[in-house]
Amino acid sequence: MGIRHLVIVLLLTQLSPSDRVAVERYRSAIQSAESAASRLAIEPAFAAARALREALIPKLESLGDEEFKNLQQLRGLLINREEVVFIKPDVDYFTKLAAARGDEADRAFFAALKATYPESVWPIYIEQQTDYSGCTRFGGMTLVEAYRVWLEFQRRFPDRYVNGAKEETEAVLHELTQSTCACGNAAGVEQELEQFLRRFPAVVHVTNVLTHGNDTRCSSPFQNIANFESRAALLRFPWPVLHARRAAGVHSSSEFLSKRNIGD
């Protein structure tokens, strides 16, 4: 056991035994990936990072300062609890690791992750407004491009990084259909939605969104442009049904997302 590892273990006294197991599994997995003991070691290390995130996020703010600082020393992770709490993979670290030690799927996955998170924290389709919030970049086709990148990865490597790739495609769809804070104007929202439908006509059919009131976290003047008429109509929700729902006073802010062919 290295001195650095021993120091980390000794200082993690406020973590539960299961939390310490998650930390140790990640540390061991990242060491294996760095040592090139196996060319398939990077994916398990990334999975261990996800497990560590799930274990520690709920209690990150309550950890002692020394304990928290030593968690921040774990290679390959960005850990923060000031203003916003997160544990995220250091994309640059994993990209370099994949280039040096990984196989084709590793390199493709982290190239896609780097394209989506250039600075590791905020995706390209979100413009940061405060330490903890941002607006959606409708109109610049960043949502369309991010979705394309991850669909292409899933097509090429259907059995690799399955959960990570699924999480990214779902994040794009959530932002596309649920965002109430747009950076640009209504025309930008319409352009992004129309382009998405042209590029991915068989992906989703959305019956969504009527927002009432303001998104208080949003400093964009366009936060409420993603309303029922603009988004549902653009996503080809059948007008007779839309009209009937509006007449009946159905104004859910998030109703359902279901797979179907838009042309059906």
Question: Do 81 and 194 fall into the same domain?
Answer: no
Question: Do 167 and 234 fall into the same domain?
Answer: yes
Whether 73 maps to a domain, the answer reads: yes
Whether 109 maps to a domain, the answer reads: no
pLDDT of residue 38: 73
Cβ contacts of 40 within 8 Å, gap of 6 or more: 103
Whether 104 maps to a domain, the answer reads: no
Which residues does the chain have with pLDDT short of 70?
1-13, 37, 202, 204-264
pLDDT of residue 190: 83
- Give the residue numbers spanning the domain of 74: 1-99
pLDDT of residue 260: 25
Which residues does residue 217 pair with via DSSP β-bridges, in sequence order? none
Among residues 218, 46, 66, the alpha carbon closest in space to that of 136 is found at 218
CA 58-16-62 angle, 5° bins:
40
Whether 94 maps to a domain, the answer reads: yes
pLDDT of residue 215: 52
Question: Do 77 and 176 fall into the same domain?
Answer: no
Structural domains counted in the chain = 2
Cβ contacts of 246 within 8 Å, gap of 6 or more: 228
- What is the pTM assigned to this prediction? 0.75
Task: Work out the number of other CB atoms within 10 angstroms of the CB of residue 222.
Answer: 18
pLDDT of residue 5: 55
pLDDT of residue 160: 98
Over residues 76-124, the pLDDT tens digits come to: 999 999 888 999 999 999 999 999 999 999 999 999 999 999 988 899 9
Whether 108 maps to a domain, the answer reads: no
Whether 106 maps to a domain, the answer reads: no
Compute the residue count for the chain. Answer: 264
